[in-house]
C-alpha cells in the first residue's frame, strides 16, 4: 500500500466504517455478468469477425437495459 493509502487507513478507525450494503437485485447482477461476457467475447473476436457488429449491438442493448434497470429499481 502507498504511504498515502496507509495514512488514509489510519485516519479512519475500522469501527467507524459503515457496513457495505448490496442494493443490486439479482436480475441486475445477472445482467452485469452477461455484459461482462459480451465484452470479453467482443474483445476476443475483433472487428473483422462476421459476428462483431451483431455482438456489439447486443452488448449495447444489454448496457441500455442495465442502465434502465439500475435507475428504476
Least confident span in 2-11, 15-24, 63-72: 15-24
In the predicted structure, residue 13 carries a pLDDT above the cut 70: no
Neighbours of 21 (CB within 10 A): 6
With 0-12 / 13-18 / 19 or more C-beta atoms within 10 angstroms meaning exposed / middle / buried, residue 46 is exposed
Which pTM was predicted? 0.65
In the predicted structure, residue 73 carries a pLDDT above the cut 70: no
CA distance 50 to 28: 29
Q: How high is the pLDDT of residue 15?
A: 66
The tens digit of pLDDT for each residue in 16-68 reads 666 767 778 889 999 999 999 999 999 999 999 999 999 999 999 999 999 99
CA distance 61 to 58: 5
Amino acid at each position: 500500500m502507498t504511504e498515502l493509502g496507509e495514512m488514509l487507513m489510519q485516519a479512519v478507525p475500522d469501527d467507524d466504517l459503515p457496513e457495505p450494503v448490496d442494493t443490486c437485485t439479482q436480475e441486475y447482477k445477472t445482467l452485469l455478468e452477461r455484459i461482462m461476457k459480451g465484452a470479453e467475447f467482443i474483445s476476443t473476436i475483433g472487428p473483422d469477425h462476421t459476428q462483431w457488429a451483431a455482438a456489439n449491438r447486443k452488448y449495447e442493448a444489454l448496457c441500455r437495459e442495465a442502465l434502465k434497470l439500475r435507475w428504476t429499481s
